[in-house]
């Protein structure tokens, strides 16, 4: 089972920003515009990640138990590139840090 399905910590710890052209009000964009706010002229971010406590507006479920992304197929590049620690031998200390914030065990084998 994908460990992210029982985690969600990174979706509730970091600001999730990305190129503003990834939203669906631009041709080729997929991220739902209504779930996004403008950071500046070139960057947007997921609503809910601009204020504390941080929690992405697309995150469904209970962190550390059972979660999913409501826009999984339309999530921004930032999320697609954020691999869980250890996935494909990935070194991702931010994953472990997010998990630790929510009292979850690290996934790294390093």
Quick check: 45 binds ligand SF4 (CB under 6 A)? Answer: no
For the CB of residue 93, give the shortest distance to ligand SF4 in the complex, in Å: 10
Binder among 1, 10, 33, 47 for ligand SF4 (CB under 6 A):
10
Q: Which stretch binds ligand SF4 (CB under 6 A): 17-25, 37-45, 74-82?
A: 74-82
Q: Is 58 in the site for ligand SF4 (CB under 6 A)?
A: yes
Closest to 12 measured CA to CA, from 102, 108, 76, 81: 102
User: How many residues interact with ligand SF4 (rule CB under 6 A)?
Assistant: 22
d(CA 90, CA 45): 24
75 binds ligand SF4 (CB under 6 A): yes
Give me the half-sphere count of Cα atoms (radius 13 Å) on the Cβ side of residue 65. 3
Q: Would the CA dihedral through 70, 57, 13, 99 be positive or negative?
A: negative
8/22 Cα distance (integer angstroms): 22
Query: Residue 63 interacts with ligand SF4 (CB under 6 A)?
Result: no
Structure tokens at 10: 């990174």
The SS3 of residue 19 is strand
Binding site for ligand SF4 (CB under 6 A): 3-4, 7-11, 16, 46, 56, 58-59, 69, 71, 75, 79, 82, 84, 95, 98-99, 107
């Amino acid at each position: 089972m994908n460990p992210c399905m029982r985690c969600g910590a990174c979706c509730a710890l970091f600001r999730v920003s990305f190129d503003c052209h990834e939203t669906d009000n631009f041709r080729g964009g997929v991220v739902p515009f209504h779930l996004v706010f403008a950071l500046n002229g070139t960057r947007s971010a997921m609503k809910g990640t601009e204020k504390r406590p941080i929690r992405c507006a697309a995150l469904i479920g209970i962190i550390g138990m059972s979660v999913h992304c409501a826009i999984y197929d339309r999530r921004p590049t930032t999320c697609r590139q954020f691999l869980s620690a250890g996935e494909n031998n990935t070194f991702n200390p931010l994953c472990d840090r997010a998990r630790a914030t929510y009292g979850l065990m690290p996934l790294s084998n390093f």
